[in-house]
């Protein structure tokens, strides 16, 4: 009858709607679907779409807020000063950037590095949920209050829930402070390192005695 087949879908539950997931889709499929995205107003001020990088089968995923100037210029997440600190944290954990997956709540830089607005986050969220569904990480680290609020859909201050693994949609999530916050508040590096030790213990990996 000329019908080649019926697509198979799984679903990921979001705040406002169920996000369809093509069974067997890849990160490349999702990136191709993003295309030259014009879905929200951030498209008018961005230089590059910053999709995400790392291991497509990563046990550990990091989610930040949004691209900054360096990320917008290079098209890769966490490559500026905060990104270099995140890399140091990852390496102190005994891992490499290529071992994990790194992305953000939104894929385009908000002007003047402001926090993403609700409509911008909502537009990007289905693509984030699809990436999570493809990668299936054992644990997700939310970096900063914006990532925590948008993924977990809670208003609890990050200071109250950081360091405590949360259950979300069948995944485990560790809220912690954003590396940019650590650059402004170096005294908070120790609490974040304690959080990463909990992450390593959860993943069954060796825990270094100190972060150097």
Kindly report, residue by residue over 142-201, the tens digit of the pLDDT. Answer: 999 999 999 999 999 999 999 999 999 999 999 999 999 999 999 999 999 999 999 999
pLDDT (tens digit per residue) in 89-112: 999 999 999 999 999 999 999 999
User: What are the pLDDT digits (tens) for 75-93?
Assistant: 999 999 999 999 999 999 9
Domain ranges of the chain: 9-203
pLDDT band at 21 (very low <50, low <70, confident <90, very high): low
Q: How far apart are CA 141 and CA 195, in angstroms?
A: 10
The predicted structure's pLDDT at residue 210: 62
Instruction: Supply the pTM of this predicted model.
Output: 0.90
Q: Class assignment of domain 9-203?
A: alpha beta
Does residue 16 carry a pLDDT above 50? no
When pLDDT is averaged across residues 65-84 and rounded to a whole number, the result is 98
3-state secondary structure at position 199: helix
Quote the mean pLDDT of the chain: 91
Token couple for 61: 């995923």
The mean per-residue pLDDT over the stretch 110-124 comes to: 96
Alpha carbon distance 161, 176 (integer Å) = 8
Q: Averaging pLDDT over each range in 3-12, 18-27, 197-206, which range is the top one?
A: 197-206
| Residues shown for the chain | 212
pLDDT value for 145? 97
Backbone φ and ψ of 102, nearest 5°: -125, 125
Q: Torsion over CA of 35, 38, 39 and 40, rounded to 10 degrees?
A: 140
């Amino acid at each position: 009858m000329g019908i080649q087949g019926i697509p198979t879908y799984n679903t990921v539950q979001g705040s406002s709607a169920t996000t369809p997931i093509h069974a067997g889709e890849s990160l490349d499929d999702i990136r191709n679907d993003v295309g030259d995205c014009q879905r929200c107003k951030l498209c008018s001020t961005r230089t590059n779409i910053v999709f995400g990088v790392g291991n497509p089968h990563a046990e550990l995923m990091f989610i930040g807020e949004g691209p900054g100037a360096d990320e917008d210029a290079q098209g890769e997440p966490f490559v500026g000063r905060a990104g270099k600190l995140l890399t140091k944290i990852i390496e102190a954990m005994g891992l490499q950037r290529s071992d994990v997956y790194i992305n953000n709540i939104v894929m385009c830089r908000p002007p003047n590095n402001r926090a993403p607005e609700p409509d911008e986050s909502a537009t990007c969220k289905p693509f984030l949920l699809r990436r999570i569904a493809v990668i299936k990480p054992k644990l997700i680290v939310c970096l900063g209050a914006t990532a925590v609020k948008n993924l977990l859909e809670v208003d609890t201050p990050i200071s109250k829930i950081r360091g405590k693994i949360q259950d979300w949609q069948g995944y485990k999530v560790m809220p912690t402070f954003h590396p940019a916050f650590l650059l402004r508040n170096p005294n908070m590096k120790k609490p974040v390192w304690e959080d990463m030790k909990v992450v390593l213990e959860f993943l069954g990996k060796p825990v270094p005695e100190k972060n150097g």
